[in-house]
Amino acid sequence: MYLSNIKKRFRKIDTPMKIAILSRNSNLYSTRRLVEAAIERGHEAHVIDHLKCNLEIEQKGPSIFYLDKYLEGYDAVIPRIGASVTFYGTAVIRQFEMMDVFTAVSSRGIVHSRDKLRCLQVLSKEGIGLPKTVFTNYSRNVEHVVESAGGVPVVLKLLEGTQGLGVVLAENQNAAQSVLEAFNGLKARVIVQEFIREAKGADIRAFVVDGEVVGAMKRQGKEGEFRSNLHRGGSSRIIELTEEERDVAIRAAKAVGLGIAGVDMLQSERGPLVLEVNSSPGLEGIEKTTKENIAGKIIQFIEKNVKK
């Protein structure tokens, strides 16, 4: 398994915990690494498919029935909730929170991060750098919308898009108008965002755990592609963040209310600009790029916060 050759191991603690990892697939890299890291620290780890949990709410208190038994005795939960199941996934997390189980990522933080518009509004209120962004209720005045975002080229993003899907670069006014009209015709909610030319198709992913950047990588889109997502064929390399970039990443995660976050930023002439704050950032890209045991640091974060 990846990272098995790393010589530096974390010392096991004296009081083991029972940890639930909410994931729909135990074979996913991130899920496997979290299980491995928990076991290395001397803990008990269980992978639980949150979509198979029944939530029982009654006067005597909340409970969760999973497969053929009630989930009891858990000290902490690590949510790995996909965007498509945010509603039910956060309901399960809330149930654990009501049962006084520590959750590494709060249900509220996930909800805030998944609503891209709300997330940008929160970041703006905190004075964090962002690309100019416009949201409109199917406005027919496309020219004004584009100009408000800084003029062409502009980036149009579906509010529900993930991993670079639903993201379009409109290089001229006609293209912007055509794309906006198409989305409007489908009653799809989109934001229009400033295109940061000097970023040159690259962005930064800063991985934040407990108010600290524990790893960072620069992702470069493949030739001819302005999106840098690794899922779309992009490449990555380790990067040393500037003090300003590190500060912005930490502030962004805190503003959204996330103890664990992947903060995506662009390097611009006016400083780092936050694109997105991800509440379920994948571990594979960041661990393989930085060679850091990020999963282990997540377990340490839990140990720090669980009262035994």
In a domain, 122, yes or no: no
Residues 230 and 204 reside in one and the same domain: yes
SS3 state of residue 228: coil
- For the cut 90, the answer to whether the pLDDT of residue 222 exceeds it is no
Give the pLDDT score at 226.
Answer: 55
In a domain, 65, yes or no: yes
Residues 207 and 238 reside in one and the same domain: yes
In a domain, 127, yes or no: no
CA distance 125 to 255: 9
Of 66, 74, 128, 119, the closest CA to residue 101 belongs to 74
A 10 A CB-CB count for 81 gives 24
SS3 state of residue 19: strand
Better pLDDT: 137 or 24: 24
The CATH number of residue 147's host domain is 3.30.1490.20
Number of domains making up the chain: 3
Contacts 24+ apart (CB under 8 A), 106-111: 106/257, 106/258, 106/259, 108/257, 109/256, 109/257, 109/258, 109/259, 109/261, 109/279, 110/79, 110/81, 110/86, 110/258, 110/279, 110/280, 111/86
Contacts of 255 (CB under 8 A, 6+ apart): 122, 123, 125, 126, 128
Domain termination residue (choose one: 195, 211, 234): 195
Q: Cis omega before residue 79 (within 30°)? A: no
Give the pLDDT score at 2.
Answer: 40
Of 184, 119, 177, the closest CA to residue 147 belongs to 177
- For the cut 70, the answer to whether the pLDDT of residue 106 exceeds it is yes
| Tens digit of each residue's pLDDT (9 = 90 or more) over 133-164 | 999 877 778 888 888 998 999 999 888 755 55
Domain termination residue (choose one: 177, 195, 213): 195
The CATH number of residue 266's host domain is 3.30.470.20
Residues 156 and 170 reside in one and the same domain: yes
Confidence label for 9 from pLDDT (cuts 50, 70 and 90):
very low
Better pLDDT: 34 or 2: 34
Residues 28 and 96 reside in one and the same domain: yes
Residues 227 and 246 reside in one and the same domain: yes
Residues 275 and 205 reside in one and the same domain: yes
The partner residues of 64 in beta bridges, in order of sequence, read 55
Question: Is residue 238 within 8 Å of 262, Cβ to Cβ?
Answer: no
Computed over every residue of the chain, the mean pLDDT equals 89
CA atoms within 13 A on the CB side of 216: 21
Backbone conformation region of residue 277, classed left if phi is above 0, alpha if psi is from -120 to 50, else beta: beta
Give the pLDDT score at 253.
Answer: 98
Of 100, 82, 84, the closest CA to residue 282 belongs to 82
State how far Cα 281 lies from the chain centre. Answer: 4
Question: Is residue 306 within 8 Å of 41, Cβ to Cβ?
Answer: no
Written as six digits, the tokens of 133 are 């962004």
Q: What predicted TM-score, i.e. pTM, was given to this entire model?
A: 0.88
Give the pLDDT score at 4.
Answer: 40
Residues 55 and 95 reside in one and the same domain: yes
Domain containing 299 equals: 18-105+293-305
In a domain, 63, yes or no: yes
When pLDDT is averaged across residues 258-268 and rounded to a whole number, the result is 97
A 10 A CB-CB count for 273 gives 22
Domain termination residue (choose one: 195, 228, 245): 195
In a domain, 186, yes or no: yes
Give the pLDDT score at 161.
Answer: 58
Sign of CA dihedral 54, 57, 62, 63: negative
In a domain, 46, yes or no: yes
In a domain, 163, yes or no: yes
Give the pLDDT score at 273.
Answer: 97
Q: Among 38-42, 111-115, 185-189, 295-299, which is the least confidently predicted range?
A: 185-189
The CATH number of residue 81's host domain is 3.40.50.20
| Tens digit of each residue's pLDDT (9 = 90 or more) over 41-93 | 999 999 999 999 999 999 889 999 999 999 999 999 999 999 999 999 999 99
Q: Are strands 154-158 and 167-170 parallel, antiparallel or unpaired?
A: antiparallel
Amino acid letter at 274?
V
Give the pLDDT score at 7.
Answer: 36
In a domain, 119, yes or no: no
Residues 300 and 246 reside in one and the same domain: no
Task: Name the percent of the chain lying above pLDDT 90.
Answer: 70
End-to-end C-alpha distance for the chain, whole angstroms:
31
When pLDDT is averaged across residues 115-143 and rounded to a whole number, the result is 90
Residues 48 and 86 reside in one and the same domain: yes
Confidence label for 28 from pLDDT (cuts 50, 70 and 90):
very high
